[in-house]
Each structure stands twice: as structure tokens, then as C-alpha cells.
Amino acid sequence: MKGEAGHTLHNEKSKQEGHIWGSMRRTAFILGSGLLLFVAFWNSMTWHLQRFWGASGYFWQAQWERLLTTFEGKEWILFFIDLSSQWDGMNSEVS
């Protein structure tokens, strides 16, 4: 009797360990699949957005070069204009 109880306890413990490992494998499979799908989706979106914005990227580069030409290549002036506009925005939120 005594040996039989110990054997039953050992079987229960083995079943529980098997259940835990099975749960861990399923969790790893689900998380791994989800991560793979997310990365594939992210790469696809990046590719499509680069195709879309690539055409208009030249437009924004041309605007930046026009701005630099207007200020004769002095980027620090643009920095202070941007800084002052942000400062005005922060002061208007406080009021």
C-alpha cells in the first residue's frame, strides 16, 4: 500500500510536469507565430510607405534646400526660429 501511494504521487507529478511543458510549448508557438506575423507585417508596411514617400521625399528635400538658400545656409537661424515657435506654443498652453 505504501509503495502504491508513492507511485501514484510520482505519476501525478509527471503528468503535471508534462502539462506544464505542453503549455510552455504552446505558448512559445503562439508567441513565436505572432512575432513572425508582426515582423512580416511591419516589413511590408515599411516597404509600402517607402514606395509612397520615396516619390515625395524629393519634394521635401527641395523645400529644405530652398529654406537653406533663403537663410544663406545658416542653419542656426532656423534652429532659433523653431525654438522660439516651440517656446511660444508652451507659453500659450500655460495661459
Does the pTM of the predicted model rise above 0.85? no
**80/34: higher pLDDT:** 34
* Grid cell for residue 69: 538658400
Question: How far apart are the C-alpha atoms of 89 and 47, rounded to whole Å?
Answer: 35
User: Residue 25 CB: number of other CB atoms within 10 A?
Assistant: 10
Query: Given the C-alpha cell 507565430, which residue does it identify?
Result: 33
Check residue 1 and give its pLDDT.
Answer: 47
For 25-59, how does the pLDDT look when each residue is reduced to its tens digit (9 = 90+)? 999 999 999 999 999 999 999 888 878 776 666 77
Question: How far apart are the C-alpha atoms of 27 and 23, rounded to whole Å?
Answer: 6
